[in-house]
Chains A and B, each alone.
Chain A
Amino acid sequence: MKNSVRSLGKVENIKGWLLSGPYWIFAAIFFAYPFVWLVMLALSKWNFISPRKTVWLDNLVKIFQDPMFWTITWNTTRFMLYFIPMVLSLSIILAMAFSKAKHFQAFFAMSFLLANVSSGVAYSIIFTQLFSVNGPANNFLYNHFGVFIPWFSSPSWAMFSIAIMVTWKFMGYYALIFLAGLQAIPKELYEAAEIDGATKWTQFWKITLPLLNSSIVMVMVLAITLAFGIFTEPYMITGGGPLNSTQTFLMVIYTDAFLKYQPGYAAMLSIIAAGMSFGLIILTRKLIERKVEFS
């Protein structure tokens, strides 16, 4: 009896390894190996051509002494301050609008998702044209209000304009997440609240928003990750300017690695950026994540 149980365990064990094996192999090649190489690179001085030299934490010290590091940290913070409130509020409003639609709900949701799947390079070019000094946006503003807005050419406006673009891209996607969250809220809760005399506004603040907590946390996590990985829009539109106001972590990592031939420095910067975004995600979850029960 004991033997048959043991051999059954062995078979299950082998089955387990066989089933998970491809994943382990995949993870080893595409995650573990690049990660180990990234850490080695971060501790090295190299220019892709000459032999690599280990410099231990020199790159880390250099990064903290580099004013550009503080500039991109501040720029990323500014981007998050513009982007997160804007995308959260607009995608919740959009999700609520979707949920009210009686017909073609999926069609509307998918239409807004189109922005998310469109090419970053293509829409960056389109936005550059739309918001240039002689583009339609400024022509409209000038004809109706007599003002021009230097969307991408003013240091105070450029990052905000990029945040607007990125909000447009991700609003539909995040709205889908919120729509799923809204559909999971039991209707009875609203009915009970109405009987108790709660206004729509109170219902939103006391029922909808608290019960959307898990969706909000998820969108926040996605938005923070995105903020540390933003590249195409500033690279295509502003080139990091004006006055470095739209330089981002990825732009500096790319330039340092491939144009200044300092992949070690860039690797260390990428580890720091990843650490910062993970830290911020943990902090966000600690601050806003709540256990939500519908019963």
Chain B
Amino acid sequence: MKKKVGLIFLAVIMVVALVGFSETITLKLWTAPNPNQNLFWKTLLPQWAKTHPNIKIKWSQIPAAGSSEEAILTAIASNRQPDICTNIFSGFAAELINSKAIVPLDSFPGFKDLLKKRDMVNVIKGWESGGHYYVLPIYVNPMLVWWRSDILAKYGFKEPPRTYSQIYALAKKVVIPHKRYAYQAVTGVNWWDRWFDFITDYYAASAGKPYIYPEKQVAVFNNKYGKEVANFIYTMFKNHYTAVDLGNLPFYTGGVVGKVNGPWSIPYAQKQFPNILKNDTVVTPPPVPDNYPKDKPIYTFADTKGMIIFETSKHKDAAWEFMKWVYSNPEHDVLWIKLTQMPPAREDLLANKLFDPYLKDPIFAAYAKYVPYAIPTALSAKTVSIQQAMTNKLIEPLMYLKTTPEKALDDAVAAVNNILFQ
């Protein structure tokens, strides 16, 4: 009898253990609300489901809101945040890190192996915070300048300009007031536009030096590099080589000969202006001061976004397992390029043969080439305030010639330091 009871007890334990071990985990994944990226996840997730039946991914794009940050913050406030989320830019990541809302990814086993496998040891450095890495960068969009080669050729320029003086020389020939300008020196007056003008130009002029010292959180862009850039912008506006309003689609209409663009412009141009993209566009790094060494690589700003795991996730290890699976296989990055045309955050894009078919496109190849030289924005939770101050104290006074470049720089640095100090 005792034996029977013992056997039944053992059987019950085995059944419970079996049920327990085979329990299916469900992870909530939110990704960027972008049709091309949606297609990527739609293609990839069934492959995961096949090989990982015990970890189900409940995928959706970040809910509709004014911005991804707004949707994520309201989800956190109401405790509805997912386990894993993409589309995180560094400023938002800094806020999440300060609030201990996300997990340091370097605390998981295999983190370093993943960096090596994806060849992103250097790329990830810009995301370091307090000696830890909380975000896995997914893609890196270096900001590069698109030039209208047909207009350059028409005026006898065989090569696009490289330095500020070369842009001034071009402007003297091509500018027709209210019709055509040489170069879009300022992208706009929204806070994010600073990524695509001053910060891009600053990284180019300084060979990638920080505009805010990360350790001390002090703004330093009123140095010699910042002065070069501010002088350039001021000269462009003062001499009417550029204008505040360049009209609709100035690059494609020929309203401007050169302008900073991200790789996200490629699919748009392919659809809307295929001939201009194919025949009349050359891509270069951002302009540099005249004394910038010719043999030195030119750095630029990286529009980069990454993936995080929320601290509230009950299945952090499973989430890490998923993250590792997605980014340790280069085939997944091939699929990413195919569907989004944005360079994945890896340094071997030019060296790895898998990516060769995509490098035949000279414009994508240019973006891939500059991934190692693309630096993300300063890691600060006050990114919006900082860049608003840059707009109000530096860019707008230069655009409207309200003050000298030196004074504008000093005012902007003082305003930014005031924000950082608060």
A residues sitting closer than 8 Å to B (CB atoms) are 47-50, 128-129, 132-135, 142, 148, 150, 152-155, 238-244, 254-255, 258-261
Decide yes or no whether B405 CB sits under 8 A from chain A. Answer: no
Contact present for B392 and A244 (CB under 8 Å): yes
A252 to B244, CA, bound (A): 23
Contact present for B248 and A258 (CB under 8 Å): no
Contacts A153-B244, A244-B392, A259-B67 given; indicate if A134 touches B255 (C-beta within 8 A).
yes
11 residue pairs of the A-B complex, CB under 8 angstroms, read: A49-B95, A128-B248, A133-B245, A134-B179, A134-B247, A134-B250, A135-B248, A154-B244, A242-B399, A243-B392, A244-B392
Contact present for A242 and B244 (CB under 8 Å): yes
A140 to B73, CA, bound (A): 46
Contacts A48-B76, A242-B396 given; indicate if A260 touches B243 (C-beta within 8 A).
no
Q: Smallest Cβ distance from B62 to chain A, in angstroms? A: 13
For A48, give its contact among B74, B243, B248, B255 (CB under 8 Å). B74
In the complex, given contacts A150-B244, A255-B388, what are 9 additional A-B residue pairs having Cβ atoms less than 8 angstroms apart? A48-B76, A49-B77, A49-B96, A135-B248, A148-B178, A240-B190, A241-B396, A242-B396, A259-B67
Contact present for A153 and B99 (CB under 8 Å): no
Q: Smallest Cβ distance from B196 to chain A, in angstroms? A: 13
For B245, give its contact among A47, A49, A152, A260 (CB under 8 Å). A152
Contact present for A47 and B248 (CB under 8 Å): no
Contact present for A258 and B189 (CB under 8 Å): no
Contacts A47-B95, A134-B253, A242-B400 given; indicate if A153 touches B245 (C-beta within 8 A).
yes
Contact present for A258 and B244 (CB under 8 Å): no
A153 to B70, CA, bound (A): 28
Q: Smallest Cβ distance from B70 to chain A, in angstroms? A: 4
Residues of A within 8 A of B391 (CB): 241
Residues of B within 8 A of A135 (CB): 247-248
Q: Smallest Cβ distance from B101 to chain A, in angstroms? A: 5
Contact present for B392 and A261 (CB under 8 Å): no
Contact present for B189 and A238 (CB under 8 Å): yes
A243 to B399, CA, bound (A): 10
Residues of B within 8 A of A49 (CB): 73, 76-77, 95-96, 99, 101
Decide yes or no whether B130 CB sits under 8 A from chain A. Answer: no
Residues of B within 8 A of A48 (CB): 73-74, 76-77
A150 to B67, CA, bound (A): 29
Decide yes or no whether B69 CB sits under 8 A from chain A. Answer: yes
Contact present for B189 and A241 (CB under 8 Å): yes
A258 to B396, CA, bound (A): 24
- Identify the 5 closest CB pairs spanning chains A and B, nearest first: A241-B189, A134-B247, A49-B99, A239-B190, A153-B245
A47 to B98, CA, bound (A): 10
Contact present for B384 and A255 (CB under 8 Å): yes
Residues of B within 8 A of A259 (CB): 67, 69, 191, 384
Contact present for A243 and B400 (CB under 8 Å): yes
For B99, give its contact among A50, A152, A254, A260 (CB under 8 Å). A50
For A142, give its contact among B69, B178, B250, B255 (CB under 8 Å). B178
A259 to B386, CA, bound (A): 12
Contacts A47-B99, A261-B381 given; indicate if A132 touches B247 (C-beta within 8 A).
yes
Residues of B within 8 A of A241 (CB): 189-190, 391, 396
A152 to B244, CA, bound (A): 10
Decide yes or no whether B115 CB sits under 8 A from chain A. Answer: no
Closest residue of chain A to B419 (Cβ to Cβ) is: A260
Q: Smallest Cβ distance from A243 to chain B, in angstroms? A: 5
Within 8 A of A (CB), among B94-109: 95-96, 99, 101
Decide yes or no whether B188 CB sits under 8 A from chain A. Answer: yes
Closest residue of chain A to B395 (Cβ to Cβ) is: A241
A280 to B361, CA, bound (A): 60
Contact present for B67 and A258 (CB under 8 Å): yes
Contact present for B74 and A240 (CB under 8 Å): no
For A242, give its contact among B189, B243, B255 (CB under 8 Å). B189
Residues of B within 8 A of A154 (CB): 244
Q: Smallest Cβ distance from A71 to chain B, in angstroms? A: 10
A165 to B27, CA, bound (A): 46
Within 8 A of A (CB), among B28-77: 66-67, 69-70, 73-74, 76-77
A255 to B392, CA, bound (A): 15
Contact present for B248 and A134 (CB under 8 Å): yes
Decide yes or no whether B385 CB sits under 8 A from chain A. Answer: yes
Closest residue of chain A to B253 (Cβ to Cβ) is: A134
Residues of B within 8 A of A261 (CB): 73, 95, 381
Contact present for B399 and A258 (CB under 8 Å): no
For B400, give its contact among A50, A155, A238, A258 (CB under 8 Å). A155
Closest residue of chain B to A244 (Cβ to Cβ) is: B392
A261 to B254, CA, bound (A): 40
A232 to B382, CA, bound (A): 24
> What string of 1s and 0s marks CB contacts (under 8 Å) between B157-186 and chain A?
000000000000000000000110000000
Contacts A133-B246, A241-B391 given; indicate if A260 touches B384 (C-beta within 8 A).
yes
Closest residue of chain B to A52 (Cβ to Cβ) is: B77
Q: Smallest Cβ distance from A245 to chain B, in angstroms? A: 10
A153 to B392, CA, bound (A): 14
Residues of B within 8 A of A134 (CB): 178-179, 247-248, 250, 253, 255
Residues of A within 8 A of B244 (CB): 150, 153-154, 242
Max count, chain B CB within 10 A of own CB: residue among A142, A243, A244: A243
Residues of B within 8 A of A258 (CB): 66-67, 69-70, 73
Closest residue of chain A to B91 (Cβ to Cβ) is: A259
Residues of B within 8 A of A240 (CB): 189-190
Residues of A within 8 A of B253 (CB): 134
Q: Smallest Cβ distance from A202 to chain B, in angstroms? A: 46
A56 to B255, CA, bound (A): 53
Closest residue of chain B to A238 (Cβ to Cβ) is: B189
Closest residue of chain A to B177 (Cβ to Cβ) is: A148
Residues of B within 8 A of A150 (CB): 244-245
Residues of A within 8 A of B179 (CB): 134
Closest residue of chain A to B77 (Cβ to Cβ) is: A48
Residues of B within 8 A of A242 (CB): 189, 244, 396, 399-400
Residues of B within 8 A of A148 (CB): 178
Residues of A within 8 A of B74 (CB): 48
Q: Smallest Cβ distance from B334 to chain A, in angstroms? A: 35
Residues of B within 8 A of A239 (CB): 188-190, 193
Q: Smallest Cβ distance from B74 to chain A, in angstroms? A: 7
